[in-house]
Chains A and B, each alone.
Chain A
Amino acid sequence: MERMELVYSRERAQQKSAEVDDRELAIRARGGDAIAFETLVLRKTPAVVSVARRIIGDADEARDVAQLVFLRVWDSLARYDEKYSFNTWLYRIATNLSIDFLRANRSRAKAHGATLHLVRGREAALEEEATFALESSQVAELFERVSADLSEKQKAAFVLREIDGLDSKDVAKILGCGESTVRNHLFNARKALQKKLRHEFPSLFRRWSRT
């Protein structure tokens, strides 16, 4: 009896794609390989949502931006230069779209911020809840509160370099500026955040200092 072999199966193609590195997947996707593109989306969604969330400060909006990021990736694959890291290229798209989103929504955020200032109770509660090991969601909330006045670039530089811990060369490529500019953004962001943290959450940091 002749041996039958399954020539093509979607699952098998997905399994094969899962073993391939990002750059190779991007090259295949650029050639029209839909499975390679799907694998990239599945693989990179957590990182893209995470960076978008940190810059934008809202999980639902970060998910919407993540979708736009992958649409932009699909549209721009022809321009992807495989000499460079796919991750850096993807982060650049994600950061730029998050910054655009932030700019477009700054006025709305300001209105939201004004409301927040009226409701000081929640901030007090945050201080009360604070322990020496803050939950990641609490830290995210704290960052969203204190980073509202940073410029988009300062915020992006701080998120990429300080929170995500990326190499400064990569951050410079992502933001499309020099490393010294990244350092400046980071320095100014840190100064502004320190001031705000000490001013708005004094007891939180007094508690740290005492111990």
Chain B
Amino acid sequence: MTEACRTASARAEAYRRDRLAEAERLAFRAHLAECASCRRDAIAADPTLIFAVAPPPPPVGDAETRAILENVKAAIAVREADRRLRGNGARRARRSAAALGAAALLALTFSAPVARRSVSIAAARPAGPGGIAGAANRIVRPGSEEPSMPSSATIYEWNPGTASPDDPKIVWIVDRSLDL
């Protein structure tokens, strides 16, 4: 029994418990690989060591490796083609959705022009004194009392583009007495 054999024998239990440092572990395995006597003793004590000291399997052949590469390349090519097809489909769908959206926007714009334009506050104009009475009369219910106007009120009215006095108007009253 050599010194290496004694060292290996002393380390066998620690090896089985995975408590050796990496260098010691490698040295233990290397010794078992080359020393038949220690290998026998170690496997008799722990049969699972047969797997640690087994010769490596024959390498995968070149033809087999090439076949795997070709299959991988073919699978990637199929996947890329599929991705491109899906990409084109998605682009087409996005274009169609954009065209439909634009068409819907145009249709809404031309079918309700007044309603759209009425939103603009810039179109409103302050009403004169005559306008005040007219505006106030129109918001007073028939038979009710004449509402009293604060002296400092400014009344705005806006007629969205119609000339007839019977058409509804938008009127708002701002009490300037509250201005700071």
Contacts and interface: CB of A to CB of B under 8 A. Distances in A.
Dominant SS at the A interface?
Answer: helix
A197 B47 contact: yes
A87 interface: no
Nearest to A137: B57
A204 B47 CA distance: 9
Given A63-B64, A134-B54, A193 B48 contact: yes
B14 interface: no
A165 interface: yes
Given A132-B40, A136-B56, A162 B51 contact: yes
Interface in A146-177: 158, 161-163, 165, 167-168
Given A46-B65, A163-B52, A190-B46, A53 B72 contact: no
17 contacts: A41-B69, A41-B72, A45-B65, A45-B69, A46-B60, A67-B71, A71-B72, A133-B55, A136-B55, A142-B50, A162-B51, A163-B54, A197-B50, A201-B47, A208-B43, A209-B44, A211-B40
B165 interface: no
Contacts, number: 100
Contacts of B56: 136
Nearest to A163: B51
Interface of B: 16-18, 22, 26, 29, 36, 40, 43-44, 46-48, 50-52, 54-60, 64-66, 68-69, 71-73, 75-76, 79
B60 A49 contact: yes
Contacts of A74: 72, 76
Contacts of B44: 205, 208-209
B75 A139 contact: no
Contacts of A183: 18
Contact of A187 (B17, B55, B66, B75): B17
Contact of B18 (A66, A134, A187, A194): A187
B68 A194 contact: no
A132 B44 CA distance: 12
A74 B76 CA distance: 8
Nearest to A179: B18
A209 B75 CA distance: 51
Contacts of A132: 36, 40
Nearest to B75: A71
Of listed A67, A135, A187, residue having the most chain B CB within 10 A: A67
A38 interface: yes
